[in-house]
Structures are given as structure tokens and as C-alpha cells.
Structure 1
Amino acid sequence: MIVTLTANPSLDRAVTLSAPLRPGEVQSAASSREDAGGKGINVARVAAAAGVPALAVLPLAADDPFGVVLHSVELPIRPVPIRGHARANLTITDPVGVTTKLNLPGAALDTSDAQLLVAAVVDACAGAGWLVLAGSLPPGVGDDFYVTVIRAVREHWGDAAPRIAVDTSGEALRAAVSEARPDLIKPNEDELAELTGATFDPDELPSAALAMAGTLVPERVGSALVTLGALGSVLVTPDGGFVAAAPRIRVQSTVGAGDSALAGYLLADLAGATPPERLAHAIRYGSAAAALPGTQAPRPADLFAGDLPVAALHP
């Protein structure tokens, strides 16, 4: 089973334009859709669509309209009652796939809310293979909130604790890596550069990603899955690095593509796949998500079926 925590869920509103975005002007949209979003929820939806048990933990008020949209996807959830409502995020995509995002702040959590959320995650991890801590942190909790969750899960479950993946950015990611040694992180190249304090040449991204992640793996992080958008992804493990390019697709929306890539990696890992196979599976899922409008969870039938070569990366 895959358990996810989305501490700052969002109602994702996706608007598709028939012409490029013109700031300051009035434009008509070609279409729109609403999805229950948040990185952890996205990962859980992909896992559930693949037939793997998943449970999404999140803060959710009983009267929050977000709950109506979330319940429509029939995803097993463990809501923790709070007073505020989930934020709304707006994504605008033009005909060639250029995406503009506006993310609003989420509902603030007080100390009691945060403690209940941690307790819910610990309880949900019974028998889980992976725990995913994903997305931004809501107002009211510190940058070390994921550290608190990781320590609580590992202290309670000991050797039976699930492996833990962290997909966040900024100070929340820095705290998790420096204080809690997650088993996996999934940054993009900019998040990895910010985390390591390194600079990179865009023309040498795979090698740069290997060098940056190599400063973290295995001492501070078990492994790193670094997503590079259209260039594919890099996987850095204690046994070496691997790279694979993304297949050519028609981009509909990049929202949730990284979450789907993480889910694809975890699904392959739970199936006993090798590191190169896990990387290829991640890219197939990330590419499938980018080819779908809005924040949709790709299903196995949506995956690219062609050959996806994976190469070893060397320093």
C-alpha cells in the first residue's frame, strides 16, 4: 500500500486557451475543468488507478467544497477535521502547452490540527510499503513539519515503518534532507540546485543532476529521482546514476506530471523492478500525465508503449 500526506490540498481549476495568454486582456477559454489536487492526492490517485491500494491523508473540513470533488474520484481518504477550506489553484494552458499557474495560500493549521494530522499519518502507515510526504506546507506549521512526521512514523513503527518519499521544495525539503534522511526525494533541477547550493549549465543537465544529487546520496538521502521536464529524468542511487529521455508527446498540462512520475517510480519499486526499470516507469507515467488535460491521474492504458532506453550516468 502507498500512503500519502497532502498537508496543503488544492482545488485545481484548469483553463485551456485557444490562443496564447495575453496579460491584461480579456480572453475566452476553450475549456475548463476542476480536479481535487495536491501532490500527495495526485500520487494516491495514480496508484489507485493502477490497482495498487492507496490511502490519502489530508486536512479537510466537513463543509469544504473540495470534499465534493475529492469524493467523486472514489479515492480512499483519511480526513482530519479542520476549520478552514482547501485553497484553489488556477492553471492556464495555451495551445502549445505553455502553462501559467496561480497558487493561493491554504487553510492555516493550529498546533492541535498539526498534531492530529501527524497522528493520522502514523496510524495510516500500518502495513504500508511507502509513505509519500508531498507538496507545500500550509500556514501555521513550521518548515520542519515533514521532519516531525518522519520521526513519528519511524519511532512508532520501527523496523515495520514504510519507506518515505519526500516531494517538496525550499526550506521544507532542506529540513527533511538535513534532519530526517528520507529514503527518496523527487526534486526538479531547480529545486535540487536550491537544495545543494549548486549552479548548473542547462546544456549539461543530466550530468549536473547526477553531480548535485551525488552530494546527497546516500549519506543524507536514500535515492533521488530528479525530473527534468521534456528532457526526461535522472535517478541517483547508492549504486550509481541512470538517465532516460522523455518520449515526444503533445503537452496538454504539466500540472501533476511530476507527481505521476513519482507514483510510477513507486509502483515499479513495489513490483520489484530494477533501478533502470523504475526510472523508465516514472518517465512513462510523467509523460502520460502531461498528455492529459487538467490534473488527471494517468492509467496504465495511457502509458507510452514504445521503447524507452535507460543509460548509466557516470561522474
Structure 2
Amino acid sequence: MILTVTPNPSLDRTYELRDLTRGAVLRATADRVDPGGKGINVSRAVAAAGHRTVAVAPLGGPEGALLARLLGEHGIEAAGVRITGSTRVNITLVEADGTLTKVNATGPEITESEAETLLETVRTWSSDADWIACCGSLPRGLPPEWYAELVARSHGAGARIALDSSGAALIAALRERPDVIKPNVEELSEAVGRPLATVGDAVKAAEVLRGRGAQAVLASLGADGQLLVDGSGTFFGSARVETVRSNVGAGDASLAGFLAAGGAGRPALAAAVAHGAAAVQLPGSVMPTPADIDLSSVVTTTDIPLDRVLTEPAP
């Protein structure tokens, strides 16, 4: 079972438009609402792959009630923590040419007692979990050290932790030695405080974060592929992608694939790449099913293309 923790979940409403014109009244050609937040996306991908998953998240107001119902419809057990604020609603506008415009709400403020209840809920479920995936930004009310406390308590209970966050929250958590962290290029660059222009730059940055406490680094390089840097070495994975429809949630699908495949080594990296490649070919934040996964398109290697210039370098 994979337990996910999403401190700032959302309802994600996606509207498809012919084009986006400022100041105009627009009519959507299609729309959908999905349970959102990075950890919840991981749970969605895990459930879509046929594995058991439990999602811990603060839920408030009618939006929180709808989110809980949608989780059940996706085959996800909801371990909701009731809060006084209302769960946020995020908006994604998708134009016909694939251009995405996102409006993310700030979300509710979490009280001290609600924050403690979240931690205790994770502890309660941790004994049943093969992995705990802690994902996303921290809402108002939670200090940057909150993830560090969660990692420490979870390790104390014998659980393995995957952390997908950024900024101060990521840096603070490194001292508690999360089992794997999953930054993208921009987050990797921010964490080490320098630009990343090549795959080799990304490898060096991942090694820095391992030196600061991360036991493994699964780094997404966007269209260029993914890196896994751990105690056994450095691995690079990539896959063919015919058409990109949406990259929303692709990183979360990758993490789900990685954890579901054991969370270590080249086979897990291959699963991560395959899940990410499948996700970008699906609309909105739809998560891939086993029928969408094509492991034959994935290549993993220890021959790292260090001099390859990143398609989307981090300034």
C-alpha cells in the first residue's frame, strides 16, 4: 500500500477552449473536475495501476466533501482530516494548441491542532504502508519544518519516505534523510543555488542533495528524461513521446510508477519514465492505466549524457 500526504489538496477544474482571449466571454468545448494536489495525483496514478492507496489530506467545506467523494470514485481510500477552512479550487485553461494557463488558489490556513492531527493520521496509517509519499507545497499555517517532522516521525515508525516538495520545506527535510526526493530541474536548481544547463549539471546538483541528506534523488528533466542518483550509482532514463497533450500531473505519475515498482534501481526508474511519458499524452490531469504504459519505449543506462544541453535549462 502506498500512503500519500497532501497538505494543500485541491479540486482541479479544467476547461478546454478554442483559444484564450482576455476580456472576452468564452465558452468551453469540454470541462472536467478532478481531485488535485501532488500527493492525491500520486494516489490516482497508483489506483489506476491497480494498487491500494490511502490519501491523507485536510478537507474542509463543500469543496472538501466533493474531493472526498471523487477520491472514492477513483478507488482511493480517503483519510481526511477535517479543517475549518475550505479546500481550494484550481483552474486550468487548455487551448486547442495545447497551451495551458493555470490559476492556483492559495488554500486555507491550517491551525496548530489541525497540523498535529495530520501528523497523527499519517502515523496511524504508516504501519500498513510500503511507502509514504509526501507531496506538494505547504499551506498557510504549516512551517517549513513540518515535512521534516513528518519524515522524522515516519522513520521512527519504520516507514520509507518519498518527498516531492521544494524551497525551504525541502531543505529543512533533508536533515531527516528522506529515502527519496523528487525534484524537477527548476527545484533542483533552486535547492543548490546555481543554474543547470546540462544533464551533467543536474547530476552534480543531485549529488549535492545526497550529501545534505537525501538517500536517493529521482530528478525529472522534462522532455530530456529522468535521473536516479542513489548509493548504487547514477542512472539515466528516457522514452519516446509522440504527442504531448498535457504535462499536468506527469511528475506525480512518474513518482507513482517509481514507488509501485519498488522505489529503487533501474527497474523503478524505467517505470517512472514510462508513467511520465504516458501521462503527458493524456488530457488534463488524467492518470495512465496499465494499458497506457509502454515500457518497451524506455531506455535506461549508466552511460550518462553529461554534456547534453537541457531542453528547458534552469536559470
TM-score norm. by structure 1 comes to 0.90
For structure 1, the residue ranges without an aligned partner over 5 or more in a row are: none
Shift of residue 17 of structure 1? 2.3
Match for residue 60 of structure 2? 61
Deviation track 1:149-185 (CA, whole Å, cap 9, x = no partner) reads 1122223x2xxx12101001111111112x3211101
Residue of structure 2 aligned with 1:282, choices 272, 277, 297 = 272
Shift of residue 66 of structure 1? 2.7
Shift of residue 253 of structure 1? 1.6
Residue of structure 2 aligned with 1:181, choices 177, 201, 219 = 177
For structure 2, the residue ranges without an aligned partner over 5 or more in a row are: 307-315
Shift of residue 305 of structure 1? 4.6
Distance 1:22 1:225 in 2: 38
Change (3 A) 1:294 1:307: closer
Shift of residue 306 of structure 1? 3.1
Shift of residue 99 of structure 1? 1.9
Match for residue 119 of structure 1? 120
Change (3 A) 1:77 1:104: same
Shift of residue 71 of structure 1? 3.0
Q: Determine helix, strand or coil for the equivalent of 2:296.
A: coil
Distance 1:220 1:173 in 2: 11
Q: Are residue 212 (structure 1) and residue 205 (structure 2) matched? A: yes
Change (3 A) 1:95 1:231: farther
Shift of residue 209 of structure 1? 1.0
Distance 1:296 1:187 in 2: 21
Q: Determine helix, strand or coil for the equivalent of 1:90.
A: strand
Q: Are residue 200 (structure 1) and residue 188 (structure 2) matched? A: no
Change (3 A) 1:264 1:37: same
Match for residue 223 of structure 1? 216
Change (3 A) 1:218 1:129: farther
Q: Are residue 52 (structure 1) and residue 45 (structure 2) matched? A: no
Change (3 A) 1:268 1:117: same
CA contact (8 A) 1:82 1:113 kept: yes
Q: Determine helix, strand or coil for the equivalent of 2:29.
A: strand
Amino acid at match of 1:29: A
Amino acid at match of 2:13: R
Shift of residue 16 of structure 1? 1.9
Residue of structure 1 aligned with 2:247, choices 239, 251, 254 = 254
Matches within 5 A, 1:259-270: 259-269=252-262
Q: Determine helix, strand or coil for the equivalent of 1:269.
A: coil
CA contact (8 A) 2:228 2:234 kept: yes
Deviation track 1:89-141 (CA, whole Å, cap 9, x = no partner) reads 11122233222211101111101000001000011101311111001111111
Moved more, 118-127 or 297-306: 297-306
Change (3 A) 1:180 1:314: farther
Residue of structure 1 aligned with 2:164, choices 167, 174, 184 = 167
Shift of residue 18 of structure 1? 2.4
Q: Determine helix, strand or coil for the equivalent of 2:217.
A: strand
Distance 1:277 1:98 in 2: 33
Q: Determine helix, strand or coil for the equivalent of 2:247.
A: coil
Percent of aligned pairs with the same residue?
A: 38
CA contact (8 A) 1:264 1:278 kept: yes
CA contact (8 A) 1:15 1:92 kept: yes
Alignment size in residue pairs = 303
Amino acid at match of 1:111: E
Amino acid at match of 1:180: E
Distance 1:17 1:306 in 2: 34
Amino acid at match of 2:31: S
CA contact (8 A) 1:247 1:304 kept: no
CA contact (8 A) 1:163 1:183 kept: yes
Match for residue 17 of structure 2? 17
Distance 2:71 2:152 in 1: 29
Q: Determine helix, strand or coil for the equivalent of 1:133.
A: strand
Distance 1:216 1:18 in 2: 43
Q: Determine helix, strand or coil for the equivalent of 1:216.
A: helix
Q: Determine helix, strand or coil for the equivalent of 2:209.
A: coil
Distance 2:140 2:297 in 1: 44
Q: Are residue 88 (structure 1) and residue 89 (structure 2) matched? A: yes
CA contact (8 A) 2:47 2:74 kept: no
Shift of residue 37 of structure 1? 0.8
Q: Are residue 2 (structure 1) and residue 2 (structure 2) matched? A: yes
Distance 2:50 2:277 in 1: 19
Shift of residue 188 of structure 1? 0.4
